[in-house]
Amino acid sequence: MKKIMVLGGSGFVGSQLCEKLVRQGWCVTVPTRRRTHARHLLHLPGLTVLEFDVHNEGALTAALPGHDAVVNLVAILHGTQAAFDKTHVALPEKIARAALASGVAHVVQISALGAQGEQPSNPSSMYLRSKSRGEAALMRSAPATPDAGFALTILRPSVIFGAEDKFLNLFARLQQIAPFVPLAGADALFQPVWVQDVALAVVRCLAQSRSPGGQPSLVLELCGPEVYTLKQLVQLAGQLSGVRQGRGRPVFGLPDWLAWPQAALMELLPGEPLMSRDNLASMRTPNVAGGKLPGLALLGISPAALPPLAAVYLTQNQPNQGMQGLRQRASRRP
Protein backbone atom coordinates (compact mmCIF):
# COMPACT_ATOMS: atom_id res chain seq x y z
CA MET A 1 0.00 0.00 0.00
CA LYS A 2 1.44 3.36 -1.03
CA LYS A 3 1.63 6.30 1.33
CA ILE A 4 1.39 9.74 -0.25
CA MET A 5 1.87 13.19 1.29
CA VAL A 6 -0.12 15.90 -0.49
CA LEU A 7 0.95 19.48 0.17
CA GLY A 8 -1.98 21.75 -0.62
CA GLY A 9 -4.31 18.77 -0.27
CA SER A 10 -7.21 20.81 1.12
CA GLY A 11 -7.42 23.11 -1.91
CA PHE A 12 -9.34 23.04 -5.17
CA VAL A 13 -7.24 20.42 -6.97
CA GLY A 14 -5.94 18.78 -3.80
CA SER A 15 -9.39 17.84 -2.53
CA GLN A 16 -10.19 16.02 -5.78
CA LEU A 17 -6.78 14.34 -5.75
CA CYS A 18 -7.12 13.10 -2.16
CA GLU A 19 -10.48 11.53 -2.93
CA LYS A 20 -9.02 9.67 -5.92
CA LEU A 21 -6.00 8.50 -3.93
CA VAL A 22 -8.05 6.99 -1.11
CA ARG A 23 -10.22 5.25 -3.71
CA GLN A 24 -7.01 3.56 -4.85
CA GLY A 25 -6.64 2.26 -1.31
CA TRP A 26 -3.58 4.40 -0.60
CA CYS A 27 -2.82 6.17 2.65
CA VAL A 28 -2.80 9.94 2.31
CA THR A 29 -1.26 12.57 4.57
CA VAL A 30 -2.37 16.19 4.28
CA PRO A 31 -0.38 18.78 6.24
CA THR A 32 -2.10 22.06 7.06
CA ARG A 33 -1.48 24.96 9.41
CA ARG A 34 -5.00 24.61 10.82
CA ARG A 35 -6.89 21.35 10.97
CA THR A 36 -10.17 23.14 10.27
CA HIS A 37 -8.91 23.98 6.76
CA ALA A 38 -9.05 20.26 5.93
CA ARG A 39 -12.25 19.36 7.78
CA HIS A 40 -13.99 18.48 4.48
CA LEU A 41 -11.42 15.69 4.00
CA LEU A 42 -11.68 14.09 7.44
CA HIS A 43 -14.35 11.61 6.33
CA LEU A 44 -12.03 10.00 3.77
CA PRO A 45 -10.77 6.57 4.94
CA GLY A 46 -7.02 6.26 5.16
CA LEU A 47 -6.46 10.04 5.19
CA THR A 48 -4.52 11.69 8.02
CA VAL A 49 -4.39 15.44 8.63
CA LEU A 50 -1.21 16.73 10.26
CA GLU A 51 -1.17 20.22 11.72
CA PHE A 52 2.07 21.98 10.80
CA ASP A 53 3.36 24.69 8.47
CA VAL A 54 4.79 23.12 5.28
CA HIS A 55 7.24 26.03 5.04
CA ASN A 56 8.84 24.80 8.28
CA GLU A 57 11.56 22.60 6.82
CA GLY A 58 12.24 20.82 10.09
CA ALA A 59 8.59 19.83 10.51
CA LEU A 60 8.36 18.75 6.87
CA THR A 61 11.50 16.62 7.10
CA ALA A 62 10.26 15.02 10.31
CA ALA A 63 6.88 14.16 8.78
CA LEU A 64 8.08 12.68 5.47
CA PRO A 65 9.79 9.41 6.49
CA GLY A 66 7.66 6.41 5.57
CA HIS A 67 6.03 8.11 2.59
CA ASP A 68 6.53 6.74 -0.90
CA ALA A 69 5.81 10.02 -2.66
CA VAL A 70 5.08 13.69 -2.10
CA VAL A 71 2.86 15.90 -4.26
CA ASN A 72 3.23 19.67 -4.13
CA LEU A 73 0.12 21.68 -5.01
CA VAL A 74 0.93 24.76 -2.93
CA ALA A 75 0.72 27.90 -5.06
CA ILE A 76 -0.41 31.52 -5.09
CA LEU A 77 -1.59 33.60 -8.04
CA HIS A 78 -1.14 37.07 -6.55
CA GLY A 79 1.53 38.56 -4.30
CA THR A 80 4.86 40.29 -3.98
CA GLN A 81 8.16 39.00 -5.29
CA ALA A 82 8.98 37.79 -1.77
CA ALA A 83 5.68 35.92 -1.49
CA PHE A 84 6.16 34.24 -4.87
CA ASP A 85 9.71 33.25 -3.96
CA LYS A 86 8.66 31.81 -0.60
CA THR A 87 5.85 29.73 -2.10
CA HIS A 88 7.15 28.72 -5.52
CA VAL A 89 10.93 28.61 -5.02
CA ALA A 90 11.89 28.12 -1.38
CA LEU A 91 9.22 25.48 -0.74
CA PRO A 92 10.28 23.21 -3.64
CA GLU A 93 13.88 23.56 -2.43
CA LYS A 94 12.78 22.40 1.03
CA ILE A 95 10.77 19.55 -0.46
CA ALA A 96 13.79 18.36 -2.45
CA ARG A 97 16.05 18.34 0.61
CA ALA A 98 13.40 16.65 2.77
CA ALA A 99 12.69 14.02 0.10
CA LEU A 100 16.37 13.16 -0.26
CA ALA A 101 16.80 12.98 3.52
CA SER A 102 13.68 10.82 3.95
CA GLY A 103 14.17 8.40 1.09
CA VAL A 104 11.00 9.46 -0.75
CA ALA A 105 10.88 7.69 -4.12
CA HIS A 106 8.78 10.13 -6.17
CA VAL A 107 8.13 13.89 -6.16
CA VAL A 108 5.28 15.31 -8.26
CA GLN A 109 5.35 19.08 -8.68
CA ILE A 110 2.25 20.87 -9.98
CA SER A 111 3.67 23.83 -11.85
CA ALA A 112 2.02 25.98 -14.53
CA LEU A 113 1.88 26.17 -18.29
CA GLY A 114 4.36 28.83 -19.35
CA ALA A 115 6.91 27.92 -16.68
CA GLN A 116 10.37 27.06 -17.97
CA GLY A 117 12.49 25.22 -15.44
CA GLU A 118 15.12 24.74 -18.11
CA GLN A 119 15.44 28.55 -18.56
CA PRO A 120 13.99 30.06 -15.38
CA SER A 121 14.82 33.68 -16.21
CA ASN A 122 12.83 33.70 -19.47
CA PRO A 123 9.13 33.97 -18.46
CA SER A 124 7.33 37.30 -18.56
CA SER A 125 5.96 37.59 -15.01
CA MET A 126 6.95 37.18 -11.36
CA TYR A 127 4.50 34.29 -11.12
CA LEU A 128 5.93 32.33 -14.04
CA ARG A 129 9.56 33.12 -13.20
CA SER A 130 9.06 31.89 -9.64
CA LYS A 131 7.33 28.74 -10.90
CA SER A 132 10.26 28.21 -13.27
CA ARG A 133 12.85 28.64 -10.53
CA GLY A 134 10.97 26.15 -8.35
CA GLU A 135 11.05 23.63 -11.20
CA ALA A 136 14.77 24.29 -11.69
CA ALA A 137 15.46 23.65 -7.99
CA LEU A 138 13.77 20.25 -8.18
CA MET A 139 15.48 19.41 -11.48
CA ARG A 140 18.87 20.08 -9.89
CA SER A 141 18.05 17.70 -7.04
CA ALA A 142 16.55 14.95 -9.20
CA PRO A 143 18.91 12.05 -10.03
CA ALA A 144 20.65 11.54 -13.34
CA THR A 145 19.70 7.85 -13.28
CA PRO A 146 16.46 6.12 -12.21
CA ASP A 147 18.22 4.25 -9.38
CA ALA A 148 19.42 7.23 -7.37
CA GLY A 149 17.40 9.71 -5.31
CA PHE A 150 13.78 10.46 -6.19
CA ALA A 151 11.93 10.36 -9.50
CA LEU A 152 10.59 13.77 -10.51
CA THR A 153 7.41 14.48 -12.47
CA ILE A 154 6.52 18.09 -13.25
CA LEU A 155 2.97 18.74 -14.44
CA ARG A 156 2.23 22.06 -16.15
CA PRO A 157 -1.55 22.59 -16.38
CA SER A 158 -3.27 25.38 -18.24
CA VAL A 159 -6.01 27.21 -16.31
CA ILE A 160 -8.00 24.60 -14.38
CA PHE A 161 -11.79 24.62 -14.42
CA GLY A 162 -14.26 22.75 -12.22
CA ALA A 163 -17.22 23.16 -9.91
CA GLU A 164 -15.30 25.14 -7.28
CA ASP A 165 -12.92 27.05 -9.55
CA LYS A 166 -12.15 30.72 -9.00
CA PHE A 167 -12.04 31.46 -12.70
CA LEU A 168 -15.29 30.78 -14.59
CA ASN A 169 -17.32 31.07 -11.39
CA LEU A 170 -15.83 34.50 -10.72
CA PHE A 171 -16.69 35.82 -14.18
CA ALA A 172 -20.17 34.32 -13.94
CA ARG A 173 -20.82 36.08 -10.61
CA LEU A 174 -19.46 39.33 -11.99
CA GLN A 175 -21.96 39.23 -14.84
CA GLN A 176 -24.83 38.77 -12.38
CA ILE A 177 -24.24 42.34 -11.17
CA ALA A 178 -22.33 44.21 -13.91
CA PRO A 179 -24.13 45.52 -17.01
CA PHE A 180 -21.00 44.89 -19.10
CA VAL A 181 -17.45 43.61 -18.62
CA PRO A 182 -14.42 45.76 -19.51
CA LEU A 183 -11.72 43.12 -19.90
CA ALA A 184 -7.94 43.44 -19.80
CA GLY A 185 -5.97 40.80 -21.69
CA ALA A 186 -9.03 39.89 -23.75
CA ASP A 187 -6.99 38.23 -26.53
CA ALA A 188 -4.85 36.08 -24.19
CA LEU A 189 -5.00 32.39 -25.11
CA PHE A 190 -5.89 29.54 -22.75
CA GLN A 191 -6.42 25.79 -23.12
CA PRO A 192 -8.51 25.01 -20.00
CA VAL A 193 -8.17 21.59 -18.39
CA TRP A 194 -10.73 19.90 -16.12
CA VAL A 195 -9.77 19.53 -12.46
CA GLN A 196 -10.67 15.84 -12.54
CA ASP A 197 -8.27 15.26 -15.45
CA VAL A 198 -5.48 16.97 -13.52
CA ALA A 199 -6.17 14.89 -10.41
CA LEU A 200 -6.30 11.69 -12.47
CA ALA A 201 -3.00 12.61 -14.12
CA VAL A 202 -1.34 12.86 -10.70
CA VAL A 203 -2.79 9.50 -9.64
CA ARG A 204 -1.52 7.80 -12.78
CA CYS A 205 1.92 9.29 -12.32
CA LEU A 206 2.01 8.06 -8.72
CA ALA A 207 0.86 4.59 -9.73
CA GLN A 208 4.21 4.10 -11.42
CA SER A 209 7.34 3.55 -9.37
CA ARG A 210 9.24 6.00 -11.56
CA SER A 211 8.15 8.90 -13.72
CA PRO A 212 5.98 7.85 -16.68
CA GLY A 213 8.12 6.13 -19.30
CA GLY A 214 10.65 5.00 -16.70
CA GLN A 215 12.61 8.25 -16.87
CA PRO A 216 14.18 9.75 -13.72
CA SER A 217 12.42 13.04 -14.49
CA LEU A 218 9.70 14.12 -16.89
CA VAL A 219 7.69 17.27 -17.69
CA LEU A 220 4.12 17.04 -19.01
CA GLU A 221 1.74 19.74 -20.24
CA LEU A 222 -1.85 19.26 -19.09
CA CYS A 223 -4.35 20.91 -21.44
CA GLY A 224 -7.91 20.51 -22.56
CA PRO A 225 -9.00 19.84 -26.14
CA GLU A 226 -9.90 23.44 -27.04
CA VAL A 227 -8.15 26.82 -27.14
CA TYR A 228 -10.07 29.96 -26.12
CA THR A 229 -9.32 33.64 -25.78
CA LEU A 230 -9.96 35.13 -22.35
CA LYS A 231 -12.84 37.10 -23.88
CA GLN A 232 -14.45 33.89 -25.17
CA LEU A 233 -14.13 32.28 -21.72
CA VAL A 234 -15.74 35.28 -20.02
CA GLN A 235 -18.56 35.22 -22.57
CA LEU A 236 -19.03 31.48 -22.00
CA ALA A 237 -19.18 32.00 -18.23
CA GLY A 238 -22.06 34.42 -18.64
CA GLN A 239 -23.88 32.36 -21.24
CA LEU A 240 -23.56 28.99 -19.50
CA SER A 241 -24.62 30.44 -16.14
CA GLY A 242 -27.83 31.78 -17.68
CA VAL A 243 -27.13 35.52 -17.46
CA ARG A 244 -29.68 37.42 -19.58
CA GLN A 245 -31.40 34.17 -20.58
CA GLY A 246 -28.11 32.71 -21.78
CA ARG A 247 -26.85 35.72 -23.74
CA GLY A 248 -24.37 36.88 -21.11
CA ARG A 249 -23.20 40.47 -20.75
CA PRO A 250 -21.35 42.46 -23.41
CA VAL A 251 -17.58 41.98 -23.01
CA PHE A 252 -15.25 44.73 -24.24
CA GLY A 253 -11.52 44.19 -24.58
CA LEU A 254 -9.42 47.03 -23.17
CA PRO A 255 -6.37 48.45 -24.93
CA ASP A 256 -3.09 48.21 -23.04
CA TRP A 257 -3.14 51.90 -22.07
CA LEU A 258 -6.36 51.21 -20.11
CA ALA A 259 -5.68 47.60 -19.11
CA TRP A 260 -2.60 48.29 -17.00
CA PRO A 261 -4.17 51.14 -14.94
CA GLN A 262 -7.29 49.00 -14.42
CA ALA A 263 -5.17 46.13 -13.09
CA ALA A 264 -3.25 48.51 -10.82
CA LEU A 265 -6.52 49.82 -9.36
CA MET A 266 -7.82 46.30 -8.81
CA GLU A 267 -4.72 45.48 -6.77
CA LEU A 268 -5.76 48.20 -4.31
CA LEU A 269 -9.19 46.69 -3.63
CA PRO A 270 -9.64 44.53 -0.50
CA GLY A 271 -9.42 40.77 -0.93
CA GLU A 272 -7.93 38.81 -3.79
CA PRO A 273 -7.87 40.96 -6.95
CA LEU A 274 -9.79 39.92 -10.05
CA MET A 275 -6.76 40.98 -12.10
CA SER A 276 -3.25 42.22 -11.33
CA ARG A 277 -0.45 43.69 -13.39
CA ASP A 278 1.51 40.48 -12.91
CA ASN A 279 -1.48 38.51 -14.29
CA LEU A 280 -1.37 40.69 -17.39
CA ALA A 281 2.34 40.04 -17.73
CA SER A 282 1.72 36.29 -17.42
CA MET A 283 -0.91 36.44 -20.17
CA ARG A 284 1.69 37.67 -22.64
CA THR A 285 2.74 34.01 -22.78
CA PRO A 286 0.03 31.93 -24.51
CA ASN A 287 -1.36 29.46 -21.98
CA VAL A 288 -1.56 26.64 -24.52
CA ALA A 289 0.35 23.45 -25.22
CA GLY A 290 3.61 24.02 -27.02
CA GLY A 291 3.53 20.66 -28.77
CA LYS A 292 7.08 19.70 -27.80
CA LEU A 293 6.25 18.01 -24.49
CA PRO A 294 3.98 15.03 -23.79
CA GLY A 295 0.54 15.60 -22.37
CA LEU A 296 -2.45 13.76 -20.97
CA ALA A 297 -2.36 11.22 -23.80
CA LEU A 298 0.87 9.75 -22.37
CA LEU A 299 -1.16 8.85 -19.26
CA GLY A 300 -4.06 7.41 -21.25
CA ILE A 301 -6.35 10.37 -20.47
CA SER A 302 -8.67 11.94 -23.06
CA PRO A 303 -9.20 15.52 -21.85
CA ALA A 304 -12.76 16.62 -21.19
CA ALA A 305 -14.30 19.54 -23.07
CA LEU A 306 -15.25 22.63 -21.07
CA PRO A 307 -18.78 23.64 -22.23
CA PRO A 308 -20.88 20.62 -21.10
CA LEU A 309 -19.19 20.40 -17.69
CA ALA A 310 -19.16 24.14 -17.01
CA ALA A 311 -22.81 24.42 -18.06
CA VAL A 312 -23.78 22.12 -15.20
CA TYR A 313 -21.86 23.70 -12.35
CA LEU A 314 -22.18 27.33 -13.43
CA THR A 315 -25.96 26.92 -13.52
CA GLN A 316 -26.12 25.07 -10.21
CA ASN A 317 -23.93 27.67 -8.51
CA GLN A 318 -26.32 30.52 -9.29
CA PRO A 319 -28.56 31.61 -6.37
CA ASN A 320 -31.76 31.17 -8.40
CA GLN A 321 -30.84 27.70 -9.66
CA GLY A 322 -30.47 24.19 -8.20
CA MET A 323 -32.24 23.28 -4.94
CA GLN A 324 -32.12 26.85 -3.69
CA GLY A 325 -33.87 28.02 -6.85
CA LEU A 326 -36.54 25.33 -6.47
CA ARG A 327 -37.22 26.48 -2.92
CA GLN A 328 -37.45 30.13 -4.00
CA ARG A 329 -39.89 29.32 -6.81
CA ALA A 330 -41.98 27.11 -4.52
CA SER A 331 -42.19 29.90 -1.90
CA ARG A 332 -43.60 32.31 -4.52
CA ARG A 333 -46.46 30.01 -5.49
CA PRO A 334 -49.92 31.02 -4.20
**pLDDT of residue 219 exceeding 80:** yes
Q: Which CATH number fits domain 3-161+193-222: 3.20.20.80, 3.40.50.300, 3.40.50.720, 3.40.630.10?
A: 3.40.50.720
Q: Which whole number is the average pLDDT over 242-250?
A: 94
Question: What are the domain boundaries of the chain?
Answer: 3-161+193-222
**pLDDT of residue 70 exceeding 50:** yes
Residue 269 confidence (pLDDT): 84
Please report how many Cα atoms fall inside a 13 Å half-sphere around the Cα of residue 272, on the Cβ side.
Answer: 7
Running DSSP on this structure, what letter comes out for residue 287?
Answer: B
**pLDDT of residue 247 exceeding 70:** yes
Q: Which whole number is the average pLDDT over 263-284?
A: 90
Rounded Cα–Cα distance for residues 137 and 119 (Å): 12
Task: Tell me the pLDDT band of 270, cut-offs 50, 70 and 90.
Answer: confident
User: pLDDT by residue (tens digit) across 2-28?
Assistant: 999 999 999 999 999 999 999 999 999
Q: In this predicted structure, which of 14-18, 31-35, 123-127, 159-163 has the lowest mean pLDDT?
A: 123-127
With a pLDDT cut of 90, the percent of the chain lying above it is: 82
Closest C-alpha among 21, 23, 139 to residue 69: 21
**Beta partners for residue 190, in sequence order:** 228, 287
**pLDDT of residue 328 exceeding 50:** no
Closest C-alpha among 204, 190, 119, 138 to residue 159: 190
Rounded Cα–Cα distance for residues 36 and 20 (Å): 21
Higher pLDDT, 210 or 122: 122
CA-based diameter of the chain, in Å? Answer: 74
User: pLDDT by residue (tens digit) across 136-183?
Assistant: 999 998 876 556 679 999 999 999 999 999 999 999 999 999 999 999
Rounded Cα–Cα distance for residues 199 and 208 (Å): 15
Higher pLDDT, 117 or 164: 164
- Phi, psi values for residue 154, rounded to 5°: -110, 125
Q: Are 67 and 102 in contact (CB under 8 A)?
A: yes
Task: Tell me the pLDDT band of 217, cut-offs 50, 70 and 90.
Answer: confident
The region, left, alpha or beta by phi > 0 then psi within -120 to 50, assigned to residue 114 is left
Closest C-alpha among 162, 158, 150, 283 to residue 221: 158
The mean pLDDT of the chain is: 91
User: pLDDT by residue (tens digit) across 85-98?
Assistant: 999 999 999 999 99
3-state secondary structure of 242: coil
Q: Are 134 and 91 in contact (CB under 8 A)?
A: yes
